[in-house]
Amino acid sequence: MTYYSLVFPLFFAAAVLVFWLVPPKARGAVLLAAGIFYMASWGAASLGILAAVTLLSWAFGRGLAAAKTTAARRVFLVLGLLASAGYLFARKAVPLFASGAVLVTATGLAFYALQAAAYIADLYKGRCPVQKSLLRYAVYMSFFPRILSGPIGRPGEFFPQLEELCAGQRRCTPDRLRRGLTTMLGGWAEKLVISNILSDWVTPIFARWTECSAPVVVMGAAGFALSLYFDFAGYSHLALGAARVLGIDLPANFRRPFFAQSMGEFWQRWHISLSGWLRDYIYIPLGGSRRGTLRRMLNLLVTFVVSGLWHGSAWHYLFWGLLHALLQIGGLLTKPLRRPLAGRGGAVMVWVRRAFVFVCFALTLVFFGADSLGQGAGMLARMVSGAPGLSPLDLGVTGTELAFAALGLVVAFCLDLAAEKAEGQGSCLYDRFAALPGAVRTAALLVLAVTVLVFACRLIGGDAASFYYAQF
């Protein structure tokens, strides 16, 4: 059951209605039932693996909290981490060395496994109390708005909100509903209007890159970067909006990453929940930046290679992670040279730096979207070859559809500019939107809703591209 399927709005409306109508003490049970139903729609295997990870990590967490000695705590820490992320690691690592190995696919595993690992690690470090209630812990693991593709949750952020909900301290207010539903509508627009059209155009470029002209391959790389962003940002906004309607505030997963002026800043804006998880549970435990430049570079290398492995069980994903590690190390080594230039050149240099970040990201994504290292290298070579070939309109997407995607990109760019400015002034885009006259807000939302509905109708009877990150 994808977020843009015809069934999901009915399921979501029913879940929200029951959630806010039952007594507060029963809200946890409603969320758990909704999570189980949602995961069951993805198959018995997905639900079974989620249940196993939940039960084992909760049990080992209880054991860790009850342990009296350091040695016993470490044993439960290791067992808890194996229960949380062991199967995820096996699914990612085994196919690299045993190409014929087949492991059961579990929807959402890459996200909720890291949530369970964060709980065990935070419990060991004393950053969160043990969760004695299996029901509450199961809600944390199975919270359906985020279970498919994040944002990756942290126990210290989620459990206090759940306690308030179940104690009746959080209510369903009109403002919460408006904000949540508006956020969801924006997420649907990002996915259906921009990402899907770009994906329909980019996919044939990656499949037929040897037939495409050099400029088309270049445009394919840029299009893939934009398609991936609006796909994942669209899902994240849907998750944030749905959670807000249910009384839970999830952390933002994206903060206008293509406005970053360095690759280091880019990873503070892109897939923030994963970047933060890797920083807190991989990079910092390895020593972070506290043990000299060489050790810091090694820690960056390990962290980004782990990121590459998390994304996929193939060498081209590992190579993608390695490239980003090298970009981070390059930024670290050139920082003393770049520091005197900071702030110079005005707005022109700001946009030059932003363009450089986008180009670097798009070029590395060639390996991310390719089927192999060879294909990625071949596509990069074709970009600079000047070879003739297929034109942009020879790939199954009409000029009208591309025009709609281009218009969507322009609107999204203007909104991001406004959001960047609002953030600099201590506000946010939604607050600026809420301050507009009611007629203007209504008209804007109506146009957006109709546009989303029209593009949703395109999916009826066809094969819609699923959310890209759902495969991880």
- How many domains would you assign to the chain? 2
Whether residue 100 is found in the same domain as residue 163: yes
> How many helices (H) and strands (E) in the chain?
20, 0
Whether residue 14 is found in the same domain as residue 154: yes
Query: 256-315 pLDDT, tens per residue?
Result: 999 999 999 999 999 999 999 999 999 999 998 888 889 999 999 999 999 999 988 889
Q: What are phi and psi of 192, to 5 degrees?
A: -80, -35
Decide which of 151, 171, 191 is a domain's last residue.
171
Is the pLDDT at 339 greater than 80, yes or no?
Answer: no
Please give the pLDDT value at position 49: 93
Is the pLDDT at 102 greater than 70, yes or no?
Answer: no
- For the segment 148-155, the average pLDDT, to the nearest whole number, is 89
Is the pLDDT at 103 greater than 80, yes or no?
Answer: no
C-beta neighbour count of 248 within 10 angstroms: 23
- For the segment 237-248, the average pLDDT, to the nearest whole number, is 95
Q: pTM of the entire structure?
A: 0.92
Q: Tell me the torsion sign for CA atoms 228, 229, 234, 239.
A: positive
Query: 387-408 pLDDT, tens per residue?
Result: 898 888 888 888 888 888 888 8
Please give the pLDDT value at position 460: 60
Is the pLDDT at 461 greater than 60, yes or no?
Answer: no
* Coil, helix or strand at residue 212: strand
Whether residue 183 is found in the same domain as residue 299: yes
Please give the pLDDT value at position 265: 93
Decide which of 171, 187, 222 is a domain's last residue.
171
Query: 61-94 pLDDT, tens per residue?
Result: 999 999 999 999 999 999 999 999 998 888 888 8
Query: 417-456 pLDDT, tens per residue?
Result: 999 999 988 888 888 898 889 899 999 999 999 988 888 8
Whether residue 183 is found in the same domain as residue 109: no
Can you read off the two tokens belonging to residue 405? 């995607």
Q: Sorting pLDDT into bands at 50, 70 and 90, what band is 95?
A: confident
Is the pLDDT at 39 greater than 70, yes or no?
Answer: yes
Any domain includes 472:
no
Whether residue 29 is found in the same domain as residue 66: yes
Any domain includes 207:
yes
Whether residue 150 is found in the same domain as residue 185: no
Whether residue 37 is found in the same domain as residue 109: yes
Whether residue 89 is found in the same domain as residue 102: yes
Please give the pLDDT value at position 447: 92
Any domain includes 468:
no
Three-class secondary structure assignment of 142-154 = HCHHHHCCCCCCC
Any domain includes 462:
no
Please give the pLDDT value at position 456: 81
Is the pLDDT at 16 greater than 60, yes or no?
Answer: yes
- Owning domain of residue 32: 7-171
Please give the pLDDT value at position 452: 87
Separation CA 236–CA 153 (nearest Å): 12
Any domain includes 463:
no
Whether residue 103 is found in the same domain as residue 200: no
396: amino acid identity, one letter? G
Whether residue 136 is found in the same domain as residue 215: no
Quote the mean pLDDT of the chain. Answer: 90
Q: Tell me the torsion sign for CA atoms 257, 259, 262, 268.
A: negative
Decide which of 171, 196, 224 is a domain's last residue.
171
Any domain includes 363:
yes
Is the pLDDT at 458 greater than 80, yes or no?
Answer: no
Label residue 145 left, alpha or beta by phi (over 0 means left) and psi (-120 to 50 means alpha): alpha
Q: Sorting pLDDT into bands at 50, 70 and 90, what band is 471?
A: low
Any domain includes 77:
yes
Q: Percentage of residues in the chain with pLDDT exceeding 90?
A: 68
Separation CA 234–CA 408 (nearest Å): 13
Residue where the block lists tokens 């909900």: 165
Whether residue 253 is found in the same domain as residue 341: yes
Whether residue 62 is found in the same domain as residue 152: yes
Is the pLDDT at 142 greater than 80, yes or no?
Answer: yes
